[in-house]
């Protein structure tokens, strides 16, 4: 049983309730203060990317779809490559710091905080394969691990290495138009395993959707039946 908060390391109180005595116990990973700073995406969402539609101008929404996703879907090259993305939390200051410590400072254990939610979500999607967004060899060497794969493994799921990635400049440094115009940076490793499969892509953050769509496009071109995605933050 975890005794301290993964993030602030404060001691976690042991709360004995009927549910902990008689129902399946769910491990607590964050203290109440840290957990309260995770801002769930609530209310009306974009049906494609999970964006909170109540936080943007209504003129930028059409048929429950945000303006960004409308642009993707109006482009013949990208239409339908990604069926839907599901994200849990808003990318607020706390989660930005949390994920930075997880990804860039090698605090692998922080992935555990999302394990139960990811496990339940995978059951909802019921995909044939769960695939992490890969890092280039250079980027993975810098970080020591792939954060997307860590999320999958800590959720008790099998991580399928069906994609590889060439080294490129970090996506976070590029504008939206630069991301949309990117040459394909992914390639398939085992195309015979992809054909007619429903695939769930996993990454930590959905920003413009470019990375996920590029990966989904590669999988669809290799014969995937349908591609969904999941990220912690949107």
The per-residue pLDDT for 95 is 98
The per-residue pLDDT for 223 is 97
Bigger pLDDT: 179 vs 43: 43
Q: Does 133 have pLDDT greater than 90? A: yes
Band of residue 61 on the pLDDT scale cut at 50, 70, 90: very high
Q: Does 25 have pLDDT greater than 80? A: no
pTM for the whole structure: 0.88
Q: What is the pLDDT of residues 172-229, one digit of tens each?
A: 555 555 555 556 789 998 889 999 999 999 999 999 999 999 999 999 999 999 999 9
Band of residue 35 on the pLDDT scale cut at 50, 70, 90: very high
List, in order of start, the domains of the chain with CATH numbers. 1-36 (no CATH), 39-233 (3.40.50)
The CA-CA-CA angle for residues 54, 56, 62, to 5°, reads 85
Measure the CA–CA gap between 15 and 1, rounded to whole angstroms. Answer: 12
Burial class (CB in 10 A: 0-12, 13-18, 19+), 145: middle
Measure the CA–CA gap between 21 and 140, rounded to whole angstroms. Answer: 42
């Amino acid at each position: 049983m975890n005794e301290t908060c993964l993030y602030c390391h404060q001691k976690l109180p042991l709360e004995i309730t009927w549910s902990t005595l008689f129902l399946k116990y769910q491990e607590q990973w964050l203290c109440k203060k840290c957990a309260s700073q995770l801002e769930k995406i609530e209310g009306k969402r974009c049906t494609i990317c999970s964006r909170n539609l109540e936080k943007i101008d209504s003129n930028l929404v059409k048929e429950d779809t945000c303006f960004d996703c409308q642009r993707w879907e109006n482009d013949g090259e990208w239409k339908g490559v990604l069926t839907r993305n599901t994200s849990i939390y808003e990318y607020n200051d706390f989660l930005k710091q949390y994920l930075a410590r997880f990804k860039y400072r090698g605090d692998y254990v922080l992935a555990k905080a999302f394990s139960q939610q990811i496990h339940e979500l995978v059951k909802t999607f019921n995909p044939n394969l769960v695939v992490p967004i890969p890092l280039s060899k250079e980027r993975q060497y810098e970080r020591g691990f792939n954060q997307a794969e860590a999320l999958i493994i800590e959720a008790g799921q099998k991580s399928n290495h069906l994609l590889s990635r060439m080294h490129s400049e970090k996506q976070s440094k590029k504008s939206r138009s630069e991301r949309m115009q990117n040459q394909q940076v992914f390639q398939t490793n085992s195309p015979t395993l992809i054909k007619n499969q429903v695939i769930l892509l996993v990454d930590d953050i959905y920003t413009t959707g470019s990375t996920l769509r590029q990966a989904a496009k590669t999988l669809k071109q290799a014969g995937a039946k349908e591609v969904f995605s999941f990220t912690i933050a949107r």
